[in-house]
Amino acid sequence: ESGVDLTRYLCDEFNRIRQDHGPAMVHVSENWPGEGIVRQLVRRACGQFIYAATIILNITVPEDHDSPYPDLDVLYLQILSVCKQKELLLDVLAHLLNKSHPVGKVRMLLFGLHSVLYIPDKDSEDITVRHSSFVDFLTDKKRSGSYYLNKSLSEDMRH
């Protein structure tokens, strides 16, 4: 059952956070954040690990006051992290934003990014970014970190 797996994941991650930040958490309860909170998070996740992973990222990624959408940034980082070939992904995303890369060659690489990219069934249709905020995220080094795309590499970035 996904509820059991989500509970195990969240408990393991909270334990890791507590260990990684031991000195800063000396005054925090040993069972932080508590069984009730974990149950509530599992219930809100509705079986979706991306929700739980986003919660953990929100806790572990330092808050960036320079970002207008810090919660959206965490979500985008989580979505991008599913792709195992990061360098190739960044190259393809830069080309996609220029609309110069054939769809058929990149479909498998982009599997899992459907929430931020429209990936048509037909190779004759363009892959497009679903929302301009994703482009804003990718072209802001402070927000996107290692997923940063140099804006000068992609002039035609808006769909």
Comparing 17-26, 72-81, 103-112, 124-133, the range with the smallest average pLDDT is: 103-112
Residues 48 and 85 in one domain: no
- Mean pLDDT for all residues in the chain: 79
- Does the residue 118 lie in any domain? yes
Boundary-marking domain end, from 26, 60, 94:
60
- Does the residue 65 lie in any domain? no
Residues 45 and 6 in one domain: yes
pLDDT given for residue 18 in this prediction: 84
> Looking at per-residue confidence, does 140 or 26 come out higher?
140
- Does the residue 84 lie in any domain? yes
- Does the residue 123 lie in any domain? yes
Residues 94 and 143 in one domain: yes
Residues 143 and 103 in one domain: yes
pLDDT given for residue 10 in this prediction: 93
- Does the residue 71 lie in any domain? no
Model confidence at 158: pLDDT above 50: no
Instruction: Write down the pTM of the prediction.
Output: 0.42
Enclosing domain of residue 145: 78-153
pLDDT given for residue 98 in this prediction: 67
Residues 55 and 101 in one domain: no
Residues 36 and 85 in one domain: no
In this structure, what token pair is assigned to residue 50?
């991306």
Residues 144 and 92 in one domain: yes
How many domains, the chain? 2
> What would the pLDDT profile of 43-63 be if each residue is shown by its tens digit?
988 888 888 888 888 777 665
Residues 25 and 83 in one domain: no
- Does the residue 73 lie in any domain? no
- Does the residue 144 lie in any domain? yes
